[in-house]
Amino acid sequence: DQQVKQNSPSLSVQEGRISILNCDYTNSMFDYFLWYKKYPAEGPTFLISISSIKDKNEDGRFTVFLNKSAKHLSLHIVPSQPGDSAVYFCAASARSGGYQKVTFGTGTKLQVIP
């Protein structure tokens, strides 16, 4: 049961344009959402997060939007840069058994073309 889904395995965007990465979830108990970025041969690194009580969070070129009614979140990168080329994982967190449990999506590989 894939509770967090990233339906686009890959995305190509021109440098300077907007990159939009999407993520859908099924568990309404998720109360925190995160995006991680992963380069080859490295571990994922935390990028940006959003609490379920908000619908938008911004950090520089990165903005995450949350639509709770649609159980959908998206990551916008503006403007996209070649260094943004990486795999992006969406993750969702819920309290289960007394502690936070994190579920990851399958990832979207972003290629930013110079």
Partner 1 sequence: KAGVTQTPRYLIKTRGQQVTLSCSPISGHRSVSWYQQTPGQGLQFLFEYFSETQRNKGNFPGRFSGRQFSNSRSEMNVSTLELGDSALYLCASSAEGQYYGYTFGSGTRLTVV
CB-CB contact of 112 with 13 (8 Å) = yes
- Minimum distance, C-beta of residue 14 to partner 1, in the bound complex (Å): 25
| Bridge pairing between strands 108-113 and 10-14 | parallel
CB-CB contact of 70 with 55 (8 Å) = no
- Minimum distance, C-beta of residue 9 to partner 1, in the bound complex (Å): 7
Residues that bind partner 1 (CB under 8 A): 6, 9, 32, 34, 36, 41-46, 49, 51, 89, 91, 93, 97, 99-107
CB closer to partner 1 out of 24 and 105: 105
